[in-house]
Structure 1
Amino acid sequence: MDAIALLKEDHKLVKNLLGELAESTTRAVKKRTELLQQIHMNLKAHTTIEEEIFYPAFKSAGKKEEEKMYFEALEEHRAAEDLVLPDLMKTDPATEQFSGRAKVLKELIEHHIEEEEGEMFKDARKLLDKAQLEELGARMEARKKELLQQLKAAA
């Protein structure tokens, strides 16, 4: 699988999980807790493979505009992973505050996905050839498996 197809598959999975979380009610404490754990593990693995493998390849293949996209994407990851997600994980899932924070995380991630798929991935297809995308995809898939095993073991 090429790198972009792998990342789009991850996007679809996380969007679905976030959608389920956003639609859940304050009574669905167990469901919310489980969904949040799945979102956390999948987001962590996804952002790590992007930051370690895909983004550096994209940035080095590009010019000034790609460098700008690279840094913006990193900041969006930081906002989700270091600010919104940790707050959400500390929030009681039986509250409306949890609902609000879940919605903010969903909107932040959806915005990030739109930008990546609408701009970055299109540019990446022009900058990186099929063989490069396949090689990146193989590295990313292996690293993702490793990360998910580590995250499951730590959970």
Structure 2
Amino acid sequence: MNIYDYLKMDHDFVANLFKQFKNAPSALRKQQIMEMIAQELIVHAKSEQDSFYKALLQHPQSKEDAQHGKREHEEITNQINTIMNWEKPDAKWIKQVEKLQELVDHHVHEEEHSIFRHAKRVLSKEEAYILKEQMHFLKHKLLKRLGS
């Protein structure tokens, strides 16, 4: 598995969590799923920035992609903070989660259709496999630190 497959797998996992959120039968269950979404997105963003985006920053042709992706991660993190600081889950809270999903969907689409294409021009196949290993290691290190 290379970095592109690994990122796609992460993206699919988060998309599935959003589906579970939408279908959750209670506010409590929605909160629990939102906590999983938040953790997954934060860990994903940090490990991706410290591996994949870090590698893209080394190449003039992909530097802008990495910077753009990082800005989108910041938007997503800010939205997560808004949601997690909400007093209680209500209709407005659900709208905030839907806004988060829109931000994530936009980011995933750009990453999988534009950034991946540009990255494949500057990263070798071997680098793509090494970056997957780096991201996987960083992700599990962060999850361990969070106690998950």
TM-score by length of 1: 0.88
Distance 1:38 1:136 in 2: 24
Of all paired residues, the percent bearing the same amino acid is 24
Q: Any residues of structure 2 matched to 1:3-22 within 5 Å, and which?
A: 3-22=3-22
Distance 2:23 2:57 in 1: 37
Matched residue, 1:69 = 65
TM-score by length of 2: 0.92
Q: Does 1:113 align with 2:108?
A: yes
- How far does residue 95 in structure 1 lie from its aligned partner after superposition? 0.6
Unaligned runs of 5+ in 1: none
Unaligned runs of 5+ in 2: none
Q: Any residues of structure 2 matched to 1:33-48 within 5 Å, and which?
A: 33-48=31-46
Q: Any residues of structure 2 matched to 1:1-155 within 5 Å, and which?
A: 1-24=1-24, 28-63=26-61, 66-81=62-77, 83-152=78-147
C-alpha contact (below 8 Å) 1:76/1:112 kept by paired residues: yes
What does the per-residue CA deviation read over 1:61-110, in whole Å, with 9 as the maximum and x for residues that have no partner? 342xx2222211111111110x2111111224531011100100000000
- How far does residue 23 in structure 1 lie from its aligned partner after superposition? 4.2
For 1:61, what is the secondary structure of its paired residue?
coil
Letter matched to residue 71 of structure 2: E
- RMSD across aligned C-alpha pairs, in angstroms? 1.6
